[in-house]
Amino acid sequence: MTTVQAPPTSVVRVAEPDLGPEVEEAVLAVLRSGHLAQGPVVERFEQLCADMAGTTHAVAVTNGTASLEVALEALRIGPGDEVVTSPLTFAATINAVLRSGATVRFADIGTDYNVDPEALAAAVTSRTAALLPVHLYGLPADMTAIAGVAARHGLAVVEDAAQAHGAGVDGRRAGSYGLGSFSFYATKNVTAGEGGVVTTSDSALAERMRMLRNQGMRQRYVYEEVGRNLRLTDLQAAVAVPQLERLAETTRKRTRNAAALDRALADVDGLVLPAVPTGRHSAWHQYTVLLPEHADRDAVVAAMEASGVVPAVYYPKLVWDYDIYRSHPQVIATPAPQAARVVARCLSVPVHQRLSEDDVRRVGDALRAALGA
Ligand SMILES: *Cc1c(COP(=O)(O)O)cnc(C)c1O
């Protein structure tokens, strides 16, 4: 007797690299050129990043965390200074501040999951040197208001745009409000495996970052400062360049998938769908919902995984809510009730550009079924 087996269904994940033949060719061309380290392909990568952010400069570095670090260093932020950021972010955001020697403070988020401009203004002290908004899930923070807060208090702005390639506010791009930090880690909208960039239209800061990333040299063997080696390689840049060239198409597909999920989930009782405020353009790095109050998130995750859709929790706790940070002398942990509600209920489901229409349907069906809706 033969048994009829259902065809194997693929697992739908929250991230999947989108490479293809152009990336393979670009990488092969670098290999064949014999020039693997920072060179012409990194320059092309930087030009495309500046175009992405609408800035005049982009400085490539080894990863997104390093791009935050070199941005803070270029601004000469260090011990005695304070930097205000969101409590709903990845540890890299605050690790970079702590490495600089500065103290990190937090302002609660709004319904857009990003730092609230009023809370940000209220967290400013005489020691504050910079505001560090995070464009979480690809949705830019309210940068018009945040730039206003920065201008009123004479503060620098460093945007953690690690998740927000090509996002924008009122026609202006994420990464153009001061120093914009982007990541090209494997799960981001554009990847180099590892990689980072700082975007800016400030020529002096751009030049300083180029010096700092290259052992403190502008000219060979002329050391102006104790520098570092934060150089990206042509090999890595070659992975990202073709993806940057088709970024608009990528974002269109992610936006289309998000709209399909909106329609599929609109009538689920108690489920909060991600809202994009007027004037803002999300890069749709993640599609993040708040589960109904009564839902058991672990059970929802298990049920979805059993049907081949793997969601993720970004993030399970406030960023400072770990022993290492709670007891850290440079961390000023303050209550953030709105962010606390989000970490208890948030769930990100796949929305990326490699999903087929059928995959998107499976994502919506899996979440609905897990919620008994
Ligand atoms: C990924 C990420 C970073 C760090 O980027 P890496 O390239 O992994 O160092 C920083 N902040 C946020 C919000 C991120 O998602």
pLDDT confidence of residue 173 = 98
Measured in angstroms, how far is the CA atom of residue 90 from the centroid of ligand 1? 7
- Segment 179-194 mean pLDDT: 98
- Can you tell me which atom of ligand 1 is nearest the CA of 187? 1
HSE toward the beta carbon, residue 337, CA cutoff 13 A = 0
Determine how β-strand 346-349 pairs with β-strand 287-290: antiparallel
Share of the chain above pLDDT 70, in %: 98
Q: Which residues contact 318 (CB under 8 A, 6 or more apart)?
A: 87, 88, 106, 333, 336, 339, 340, 343
Residue 7 has pLDDT above 80, yes or no: no
DSSP classification of residue 10: P
Per residue in 37-84, pLDDT (tens digit) is 999 999 999 999 999 999 999 999 999 999 999 999 999 999 999 999
Q: Which residues contact 297 (CB under 8 A, 6 or more apart)?
A: 291, 313, 344, 345, 347
Q: How far is CA 29 from the centre of its chain?
A: 29
Whether this model's pTM surpasses 0.85: yes
Given a contact cutoff of 8 angstroms between Cβ atoms, the answer to whether 125 and 103 are in contact is no
Q: Helices in 130-245 by DSSP H: which ranges?
A: 143-153, 203-213, 234-245
Share of the chain above pLDDT 90, in %: 97
Query: In the chain, what is the straight-line distance between the N-terminal and C-terminal CA atoms, in Å?
Result: 39
Mean pLDDT (the chain) is 96
- Segment 21-46 mean pLDDT: 97
pLDDT confidence of residue 160 = 98
Ligand 1 contact, 63 CB (< 6 A): yes
- Can you tell me which atom of ligand 1 is nearest the CA of 66? 9
Per residue in 266-315, pLDDT (tens digit) is 999 999 999 999 999 999 999 999 999 999 999 999 999 999 999 999 99
Characterise 316 by phi-psi region: left (phi > 0), alpha (psi -120 to 50), beta (else): alpha
- Segment 259-272 mean pLDDT: 98
* Mutation pick for ligand 1 pocket among 67, 90, 94 (CB with most ligand atoms within 8 Å): 90
Ligand 1 contact, 134 CB (< 6 A): yes
Given a contact cutoff of 8 angstroms between Cβ atoms, the answer to whether 182 and 193 are in contact is no
pLDDT confidence of residue 317 = 98
Q: What confidence tier does 5 reach under pLDDT thresholds 50, 70, 90? A: low
Show the 3-state SS of 203-216: HHHHHHHHHHHECC
| Strand positions, DSSP E, 184-279 | 196-200, 217-219, 222-223
CB contact burial 303-327 (16+ within 10 A = b; e otherwise)? bbeebebbbbebbeebbbbeeebee
Residue 6 has pLDDT above 90, yes or no: no
Tokens of 13: 């994940």
- Can you tell me which atom of ligand 1 is nearest the CA of 135? 13
CA dist., res. 252 & res. 216, Å (int): 40
| Strand positions, DSSP E, the chain | 57-61, 82-85, 103-106, 128-132, 156-160, 168-169, 172-173, 179-183, 196-200, 217-219, 222-223, 280-281, 287-290, 331-332, 346-349
Tokens of 296: 């058991």
Per residue in 81-134, pLDDT (tens digit) is 999 999 999 999 999 999 999 999 999 999 999 999 999 999 999 999 999 999
CA dist., res. 77 & res. 239, Å (int): 32
Instruction: For residue 85, give the amino acid letter.
Output: T
pLDDT confidence of residue 10 = 87
Residue 22 has pLDDT above 60, yes or no: yes
CA dist., res. 145 & res. 173, Å (int): 15
Ligand 1 contact, 67 CB (< 6 A): no
- Segment 201-223 mean pLDDT: 97
